[in-house]
Amino acid sequence: MRVFHILNQMIENKVAVVIRGDNPDQAVKTADACVKGGSRTLEVTFTVPDADDVLRTLIQKYPEAVIGAGTVLDSETARLAIIRGASFIVSPSFDPDVAKLCNRYAVPYLPGIMTVREATEAMAYGAQVVKLFPGEMYAPSFIKTLRGPLPHLQLMPTGGVDLGNVQEWLQAGAVMIGAGGSITGSAKSGDYEEVTRLAAEFQRLAEEV
């Protein structure tokens, strides 16, 4: 029930913003700018230094948002993120040990997949939404191709999703999209106002579909 509730919130929010940063302060400021623009799902990547502390800070700061962990490569990292309060776990590829751990804690696991075989394996371990990654390698029509043999497959394309194609992905059947640099790229130069503007525009376009 908890997994369904969290995934339903994420799907309603439509856009999961991937939060990166060269240091914890940059990551938190990037997240602040995204929330200011209307983002309600945040994925804090574990490439951020002290990512678990960043995760905890944002969860305490924005209790109304759905905040999870990304770039989770093993079950040890997944457990740390869950203990720190992550609502969901995202990884660039499927890992059965991470899947088992997330099932144990009733936390949604969204693994990256590229093929029907990978999607089938992830679903067999309980993944209800999978990340199509890297999204720039595919056209939105690929969703229809995957759903031929797997009609119940729910996909979140991530990578290469931008203002020009976000609606096309959603119209093609993506249940939500993941976006990183196309929203947060200007954070590297300290332009958080631009991050807020792009987050708001992404959210507006997604909600029109």
For the chain, report the end-to-end CA distance as a whole number of angstroms: 27
131 is catalytic: yes
Of 12, 36, 43, 61, catalytic: 43
201 is catalytic: no
Contacts of 96 (CB under 8 A, 6+ apart): 125
To 5 degrees, how large is the angle CA 32–CA 35–CA 38? 155
Beta carbons of 97 and 72 less than 8 angstroms apart = no
Contacts of 5 (CB under 8 A, 6+ apart): none
Quickly list DSSP for 51-81.
HHHHHHHHHHH-TTSEEEEES--SHHHHHHH
Of 36, 64, 131, 194, catalytic: 131
- The catalytic residues are 43, 131
